[in-house]
Structure 1
């Protein structure tokens, strides 16, 4: 032990370079710094030292007067170097002893600027006018080339230009670092795909994807094919070349692709469609080639392109006609690589988009994207499954039920549900709760739908009264019409950009009849009708209602074929191929007929709303006054005033009809009053 202690005492202190620390990494930029320091040293220092600066006055009054100067050398016609006599050197030792930079004993010892040769010669001649010829100081002229300065004057501009060029293009090609780019401008054409393989696996699996049963079945088959291809090939089947995930935003397309990466156990290339687009011509096509080159080397593998509509938009529809279209060149290269002359065995392409109608037909054909997997908004049961996934990390109270929450969120996507769960946890934390309760989730739904509650917003009594009767008009008609969505909550408390809003429980249906559309339109016009009946005037509060029912009326006539005069025709282009068309698919006479039919349809439902409110004026006024008093009323208040609705959907339970906060069918416009 003593020997070990002695060894430890004798061990030198290495500081950061000991066992605990590491020496600093070598940086190639150090070389540039060292070279610059060496050049500066050569420029400003010499091994024998340099002459001491002086003035002509000192040279004239002291050195020339005492005959201490051996000779003067004029260098490059602007500088005079003074050499002292050997026996006079000691007399100036105090001035010449300047340490490391002291001049050599052999000179030159002093130096000064002469201005011009003519002036120097005149001054020297006048100073030596009374000297004998033997005492006069000889003058020599020499030219000393400044190699460093000359080289620098030629090279420095080029160095500055190269440095600026390197800095600009390095910033432009920052994105070239991913996927082998290395941040180098010469690698800007390299693929930007992130590669997930056995060294960097994705943790997401199919267990993390709730709902989407049909979509999962399709992609699970792709994964199964990669794991055991013999199961399919023995029957003559071939591996699908591509699968396109299509659906609204937030429905889980990218999440499904991540789950494929986590389950496949094969290399997975992931990138966005915008990663192919670059300011340099030909870069997009080059990146496509490099992506498939890497994929072929690691086959079997999966390539995932998110938001493929960034490069897959139909060709020939670019408004910049006549110019070189880099996006079309990229698409052409992608089409060639997916199903061109060369085979890509073992490379499966997955892509996601919410604009499938904009994609090029050549991209959609069999042999490229063999399958289109539609990922739609989740239904009631799927929303319950999604809630169960997102509720796992949240500390919940005992009254939370995923099925109950699913009933509060009709029309919500998976991303919306995740946002509801997160918002509920934040609301509970804001209230210093130990767990998240049911009311926190209901408040979160209100927050997401209507925005933040603004109880301190300044609203006059007259405006508040108008808002109350406006919302009461919506509530009354929606409760009394058979096909209107049953209203379950009305508020006149400003929330977000809305001054008042009504929450409904929409029926989850796949088809909508003409009668259902008319009842919804009449209910939407209830606010404007209520203002006209109660106040005799109308306001801008119905702007959002009018915008909604106008679009609905034109859709009924020109898309759904629900007008007897226009007929069973539809002018809607579901393929999206006529996006940049300059002509309407109907004549001017038909356009006038559509306008007249839409106006007549809206007016008929407005008169119907007036009639319903006049027939139930007493209940409408009671509801308006109760709304002014409470500011928030629920379905129970409407049932108390008007009685139970005679039209009750059999598939709905009593709990579903008395929920507090479903997704609203209407939100007030920020510029309006209700």
Structure 2
């Protein structure tokens, strides 16, 4: 049985066409000339030889341009004429010669005078014929056909062979990727860990399309649209891919940015074409990723623009969402991490009926995500997934996938046969702060400043009640930082005023330690000051935690104030907010200095230990600073706190 590869169907080999065209181009000059059939002569040859010997039988004038000359049979073997008619294409029937004439009247007059001068009494038979010359037609058609062929060839190449690609005149067509019914997807719901509630709602959408009669028999309407909302990396796109694998219906997927290009009206045209294709293949699913690219809120900011392409695309999208009736079998999925910028008309019931929120995973969900991403890895027996889940609060699914991959890379770099627990911890540190840069040279004086700075963070946070548990302190440069302190945040949903103030004090511990020991601060506390300032303004102007300002919040969850040129409060209120923020930070700073002065001996001992070992873990901290009221790790299932509090580092 011949198992040689066969050419794919629908793609014929057209190289023979090129050879045919090349042959015609080479042979065309030969066909336009009567090579060997007859010989062109001048008037002198006609008068001095042919008429002088009376060898002409008849003359036929073709199209008033060419006179074909036929010889008498008795002169065909004449030596004067035989050499001119020995070509491969010569024929006894003639014509043997031809002459190009200027005009018929001039030719007749000259021929008559030449016959009289030659003494020919018998008039030569002259006829006139109009012929359609095939060669003349080809001389016009072949160049035209050649240019048409070249044009079609270029269009075919630009259009990607007419199948998919980016055709020159198809820029208004939808570029959505189609997953046909019956196509097995590599991603299923088994590949999505955690997100149980969100997964249940999405699976219900799949059931709508598979068994619509179970819902419509009671008078229910199948939802038209489902909006997936969540922070980056929480699995919105992965959820849509799983729907494509489970639904077993045609699945159209594209990004919101693909609707808008340089041509005006392309976005609206592509929206129309996308919904037209989806309706033709109903029941089907449309997935629009990053819908905020075209679904931004329409407001006064665009009022001065003559034509906004994004707004016209959004208007067409709203029209199409209302355009198909209930229970047509077309469901629209959309994903975004910026729901605050979306137009309200897009989110109303009847268009996107369901909003599914994908939150950052809690500890148990992080353990499930770790189990998914370590499947392809060769693990050592000492890997504890529960410990990894506890030590990664605030991490999204994408972050966990990155940690697993980095751990495998670190193990491979160290020539290990298995990925061990320490590889995961090193990968976690690298993802949070950056790669160790032991080769970075700093002076002994700068190294001492870094050691006391990090020791100040550690001692202050160790003796503050509401600060997260300290895990490790290091003065090894990582990324842009010269030192870092690792904390393990509790998974909590709300933060009290006392917890905020303790966090401010812990963040200012490094600068306070520098001022106590060296009598002057350095520029290394830049990151700490930035964090403290933002947090203090948030406490005063958003959360209403200041006694003087009172329970007033200027936070705008709708995002409307982003378009305003000014602030949503008066100048007097702005001055008062600035004053209260300054007082809050200064009081926290003084409190931190007082705390470090009380534990100055511990500060010195920890700084010297850091200069000696460079990395101090929790066991060493307990030996130096004593036991601290440890917080339970990972017992709750609350929303993870902000991962920005995970690390305080000394910024050079």
TM-score normalised to structure 1 length: 0.76
In structure 1, the residue matched to 2:619 is 636
**Structure 1 residues 604-626: Cα deviation after superposition (integer angstroms, max 9, x where no partner):** 11111111111110000100000
Matched, 1:523 2:509: no
Aligned residues of 2:490 and 2:634 also touching (Cα < 8 A): no
Displacement, 1:181? 4.6
Runs of 5+ consecutive residues of structure 1 not aligned to the other structure = 1-17, 50-85, 90-96, 100-105, 109-145, 654-661
Aligned residues of 2:370 and 2:389 also touching (Cα < 8 A): yes
Q: Give the distance between the partners of 2:391 and 2:34, measured in 1 at CA.
A: 88
In structure 1, the residue matched to 2:530 is 547
**Structure 1 residues 12-48: Cα deviation after superposition (integer angstroms, max 9, x where no partner):** xxxxxx9736589644575356335523443489673
In structure 1, the residue matched to 2:431 is 448
Structure 1 residues 295 and 282: CA distance shift in structure 2, 3 A = same
Runs of 5+ consecutive residues of structure 2 not aligned to the other structure = 37-77, 82-86, 89-95, 99-134, 636-642
**Structure 1 residues 521-541: Cα deviation after superposition (integer angstroms, max 9, x where no partner):** 111111111111111222111
Matched, 1:407 2:390: yes
Structure 1 residues 517 and 164: CA distance shift in structure 2, 3 A = farther
Displacement, 1:294? 1.5
1:538 to 512, 517, 521: 521
**Structure 1 residues 321-366: Cα deviation after superposition (integer angstroms, max 9, x where no partner):** 3231111111111111112375561111111100001111011000
In structure 2, the residue matched to 1:490 is 473
Q: Give the distance between the partners of 1:259 and 1:346, measured in 2 at CA.
A: 19
In structure 2, the residue matched to 1:600 is 583
Q: Give the distance between the partners of 2:626 and 2:192, measured in 1 at CA.
A: 43
Aligned residues of 1:307 and 1:352 also touching (Cα < 8 A): yes
In structure 1, the residue matched to 2:236 is 253
Aligned residues of 1:503 and 1:664 also touching (Cα < 8 A): no
Aligned Cα root-mean-square deviation (Å): 3.7
Matches within 5 A, 1:351-500: 351-500=334-483
| Secondary structure of the structure 2 residue equivalent to 1:500 | strand
Q: Give the distance between the partners of 1:269 and 1:317, measured in 2 at CA.
A: 33
In structure 1, the residue matched to 2:598 is 615
In structure 2, the residue matched to 1:130 is none
Query: Which deviates more, 475-484 or 532-541?
Result: 532-541
Aligned residues of 1:410 and 1:663 also touching (Cα < 8 A): no
Aligned residues of 2:407 and 2:423 also touching (Cα < 8 A): yes
**Structure 1 residues 621-657: Cα deviation after superposition (integer angstroms, max 9, x where no partner):** 1000000000000122221112111x3334668xxxx
Matches within 5 A, 1:111-130: none
Matches within 5 A, 1:252-401: 252-316=235-299, 318=301, 321-340=304-323, 345-401=328-384
Matched, 1:209 2:192: yes
Structure 1 residues 22 and 381: CA distance shift in structure 2, 3 A = closer
| Secondary structure of the structure 2 residue equivalent to 1:398 | coil
Structure 1 residues 428 and 19: CA distance shift in structure 2, 3 A = closer
Q: Give the distance between the partners of 1:182 and 1:256, measured in 2 at CA.
A: 27
Q: Give the distance between the partners of 2:16 and 2:556, measured in 1 at CA.
A: 64
Equivalenced residues, count: 561
| Secondary structure of the structure 2 residue equivalent to 1:186 | coil
| Secondary structure of the structure 1 residue equivalent to 2:25 | helix
Q: Give the distance between the partners of 2:7 and 2:318, measured in 1 at CA.
A: 51
In structure 2, the residue matched to 1:120 is none
Aligned residues of 2:390 and 2:633 also touching (Cα < 8 A): no
Structure 1 residues 107 and 546: CA distance shift in structure 2, 3 A = farther
1:48 to 21, 28, 35: 35
Q: Give the distance between the partners of 2:233 and 2:427, measured in 1 at CA.
A: 18
Q: Give the distance between the partners of 1:21 and 1:387, measured in 2 at CA.
A: 43
| Secondary structure of the structure 2 residue equivalent to 1:304 | strand
Displacement, 1:273? 0.9
Displacement, 1:156? 13
Matched, 1:666 2:650: no
Q: Give the distance between the partners of 1:19 and 1:382, measured in 2 at CA.
A: 50
Matched, 1:20 2:1: no
Displacement, 1:200? 2.4
TM-score normalised to structure 2 length: 0.78
Aligned residues of 1:450 and 1:667 also touching (Cα < 8 A): no
Q: Give the distance between the partners of 2:595 and 2:18, measured in 1 at CA.
A: 87
**Structure 1 residues 132-189: Cα deviation after superposition (integer angstroms, max 9, x where no partner):** xxxxxxxxxxxxxx999x989x98999899799959xx76x77x98xx7553222222
1:591 to 557, 574, 593: 574
Matches within 5 A, 1:193-232: 193-232=176-215
Matches within 5 A, 1:563-574: 563-574=546-557
Aligned residues of 1:409 and 1:663 also touching (Cα < 8 A): no
Aligned residues of 1:208 and 1:389 also touching (Cα < 8 A): yes
Structure 1 residues 22 and 263: CA distance shift in structure 2, 3 A = closer
Q: Give the distance between the partners of 1:379 and 1:554, measured in 2 at CA.
A: 28
Structure 1 residues 36 and 343: CA distance shift in structure 2, 3 A = farther
| Secondary structure of the structure 2 residue equivalent to 1:453 | coil
Structure 1 residues 30 and 572: CA distance shift in structure 2, 3 A = farther
| Secondary structure of the structure 2 residue equivalent to 1:288 | helix
Structure 1 residues 161 and 621: CA distance shift in structure 2, 3 A = farther
| Secondary structure of the structure 2 residue equivalent to 1:579 | helix
In structure 2, the residue matched to 1:514 is 497
